[in-house]
Amino acid sequence: MSLRDRADLAVPRAPQDFPDSPLSRAFRQPLMLGVFLPLQTGGWSQSTLPRGTDWTFDYNLELTRRAEALGFDIAFGLSQWLPKGGFGGASHYRENFLDPFVSAVALSSATRSILLLGTIHALYGPWHPLHLAKFLATADHVSGGRFGANIVTGYADMEPAMFGLTRPEHDRRYAMADEFVAVAEDLWAGEDNLTFEGEHWSLREAYVSPRPAFGRPVLVSAGGSPAGFAFAGRHSDIVFISSPAGEDITDALAALPAHVRAVKDAARAQGREVRVVINPTVVSRPTSAEAHAYYRAIQAHADLESIAAFQSRHAAGDSRSWLEHSARGRAVGGHLHVVGSPEEVTGQLAALHATGIDGVQLTFYDYLPDLGHFGEEILPLLEQAGLRLPVPPDGGPHAAPVAAATRAPRGGGAS
């Protein structure tokens, strides 16, 4: 029995149940657009081809603001705990790494319409559901309802060891995360103090106020296993997946329909609907020949030392994602590769949408100029293809009113 079936835990309204919520506005886009921020050295690409991509907060702030100006719906970064030097190599891959939760809170206060997601390893160290519920409710108010949590359980055994912990078995981690998030949801929805004695966490007379602006913060998860899909089906609004067939777009398009259907069926079994998002790296230039030359150059400068370290770490874990991705693909990065002219990229994104994908969380090799090219040359084609609704100059349907955070909270919580 999942915690969702228990009478002693309440369920808050989801943000998409409010027509004026930032998440509802994002969901109106036929194909949601997100940017996967390079909060870490090297971003997502293990290559030494010269570029300007940078891990610093100022760079990521500029990147987020530019994505917001283009009408992007989401921005966030991944979380990873690494020893000194990251994955090493000539690129010093992921040697420096900004915390994605703290960064997302900071970015939310410097933007006005884009959704910011803070990735959290919920099972590491001293985290408690009451922490998460309070921190996220605060971030929700800072952002005007534009904040959410990407809940991850951690696949690498070296990460929990940093906290003096031993990694639980794969499916048990999801059972722990289920209790963790269900308790946080009760705190966002509960009419009174919460006393709860669970298998993993307990609370005595706990309460969270002020309440989130739109029922609860946005909840996101990523996974490639039945346990991960079941967890997402119970709790998540958005589910990130990797390509089950590797980075090649042709192979991915053949495998994705069944994969996406499995994610959505797991949610429907819980009486819920989720949106599924994948992470392509877009490599584009004005012509197909130029784009493929750029793609080959990135691969030709592969940082093989850091790639070997990355693959060794992944092989030692128990993740069910990224299993088919090649070393050559890691030089470029992303769950799959979308390469070509603006017209070719538009066609490939349309084909991804046809598999059931609801959004793309984009990575780029040289982020700022590549995002500029995407905005100038590809975004208009996506609008022409009916994959994106144009955003008015004033921010239009994407603008989240800051005043939403001051509305009377559901359940009468104290202010």
Sketch the domain layout of the chain as residue ranges. Answer: 3-406
User: What 8-state DSSP symbol labels residue 270?
Assistant: T
* % of the chain with per-residue pLDDT over 70: 89
- Mean pLDDT of all residues in 263-276: 96
Question: Residue 281's closest CA among 368, 343, 382, 370?
Answer: 370
pLDDT at position 392 over 50: yes
Look at the domain 3-406 and name its fold.
TIM Barrel (3.20.20)
User: Which run of H or of E encompasses 259?
Assistant: helix 249-268
- Mean pLDDT of all residues in 278-293: 98
- Mean pLDDT of all residues in 98-108: 97
User: Which run of H or of E encompasses 220?
Assistant: strand 218-222
Query: In this structure, how many other beta carbons lie within 10 angstroms of the beta carbon of residue 139?
Result: 23
Question: Residue 187's closest CA among 219, 209, 218?
Answer: 209
Residue 403: predicted pLDDT: 37
pLDDT at position 130 over 60: yes
Helix 249-268 vs helix 226-235: angle between axes, to the nearest 10 degrees?
60
Residue 126: predicted pLDDT: 78
- Mean pLDDT of all residues in 230-245: 95
Question: Residue 325's closest CA among 317, 337, 335, 310?
Answer: 335
* Identity of the residue numbered 357: I
Are the C-beta atoms of residues 72 and 363 closer than 8 Å to each other?
no
Q: Could you tell me the two tokens for 252?
A: 């991915």
Residue 317: predicted pLDDT: 58
Note the maximum CA span of the chain. 64
Assessment of whether the complete model's pTM goes beyond 0.85: yes
- Mean pLDDT of all residues in 156-178: 90
Q: Could you tell me the two tokens for 249?
A: 């777009």
Alpha-carbon span 357 to 361, nearest angstrom: 11
Residue 52: exposure state from Cβ atoms within 10 A (0-12, 13-18, ≥19): exposed
